[in-house]
Structures are given as structure tokens and as C-alpha cells.
Chains A and B, each alone.
Chain A
Amino acid sequence: KNQVEQSPQSLIILEGKNCTLQCNYTVSPFSNLRWYKQDTGRGPVSLTIMTFSENTKSNGRYTATLDADTKQSSLHITASQLSDSASYICVVSVYGDSSYKLIFGSGTRLLVRP
């Protein structure tokens, strides 16, 4: 069964600190892996997209890594800001002969405190 699992479920950090969110997946056939940021009540916004041949990608203070062998990804946030408070969702794409689906993790809820 295609699954994406994220940890931790929630995380509280102080402003200015770094943090790392984890994502493990069992998805086949794997196409690419995405990290999204979702503010409460709003649509997810893409942070990074990585194919199986990429093992790191950055977007400002966000850096995602991918290990396709172990089927693990992480999202590292550097020098956190209050505006980083949101849910972070790991999503794996499955692309078959005539289908294209996204498998979503349940997200990590991050709270950055002053």
C-alpha cells in the first residue's frame, strides 16, 4: 500500500532555531517528492520538488534532502521565523501508464515561538 509517514506530528521551537522534519515513504512507482507549507485554513504552497536523481534542494531557508535508497526525506528549516509556523506536508507522486496521483503525508505542525 502506498503510504507517506511524517514525524514528528507536531513541534515547537524558539524563533531563530533550526529544525528538521522527517518523511518516510513506501510508494511505487516513485516519481518525485514534494514538500508543501500549509497555513491554517489555506491551500498548500510548494516549497521543493525533487526527482529520484536529486538528493538535495534548497528554497531560501528551507532545504530538503532525499535518499531514494532508504525512501526517506527530510526538510531542514534554518533560522526559524514566526511566519514559519504552519503545517509541513510531504507528498510523493506516483506516475503510472495513465494515472498520476499524489500521496500525502498527514503533516508536521510547526509552531515557532518568540
Chain B
Amino acid sequence: EAQVTQNPRYLITVTGKKLTVTCSQNMNHEYMSWYRQDPGLGLRQIYYSMNVEVTDKGDVPEGYKVSRKEKRNFPLILESPSPNQTSLYFCASSFTGSHLPYEQYFGPGTRLTVT
């Protein structure tokens, strides 16, 4: 089944304790992206990757890191989490192509609480 998977789905952690949220897709998509969703703000892009070893900042990259060593994986790293990073996180992937409206598939979400 074609899908985007995220792990963990729920995580409670403490301020400053490094964590990684994994994202994997099995559709051979070039494009992958991380978003956070907060009440009343909609989804905001954190980082995205156009292909392996190509990453770029989205609208709210502060406090996050990413890497794209393999096509299927795009982990989100919080080196020193803070309470303002408490949020619902979504990973997404799609094909890319000049102006072609490829479907973007979202993962099930990771609910992170930083105390």
C-alpha cells in the first residue's frame, strides 16, 4: 500500500532532550516536506527536500534540522526541544515536475508535547 509513515505517533518529552521524528514513504517521491499545525494557524512548512541531499528552509525552520540521505526517508530532528515546539507534525511527499500538479500525500501525524 502506498503510504507515508511517521514515528512515533505520540511523544511527550522534556525541554532540551534531543529527539528525532522519522518519516518514510514508499512511492519513490522526490519531494518531501515537514509541517507543523497549531490551533488557528493552519499548517506551516518547516523544511522541505526536492530530492536526495537537497533540503531547504520553509517558513518556520528555527529549532529544527532535517537530512535527506535516502530518497524514502526524511527525518525531523529537534536538537534541543522547547515548549513552543509542542505541536502536531505532518510529513508529506509527492512527485515533482515543472508546474505539474502532483498529489501530495500526508502522513498520519505526530503529536509532540514538550514540557
Contacts and interface: CB of A to CB of B under 8 A. Distances in A.
Instruction: Specify whether A and B are partners.
Output: yes
Interface of A: 31-32, 34, 41-46, 49-51, 89, 93, 95, 98-102, 104-107
Chain A contact residues: helix, strand, loop or mixed: strand
A34 B92 CA distance: 15
Given A42-B108, A43-B107, A44-B106, A100 B31 contact: yes
A34 B106 CA distance: 14
A102 B45 contact: yes
Given A51-B99, A93-B101, 11 more contacts: A43-B92, A44-B106, A49-B101, A49-B103, A89-B43, A98-B50, A100-B50, A101-B45, A101-B48, A104-B44, A104-B45
Interface residues of B, number: 28
Contacts, number: 57
Contacts of B109: 41-43
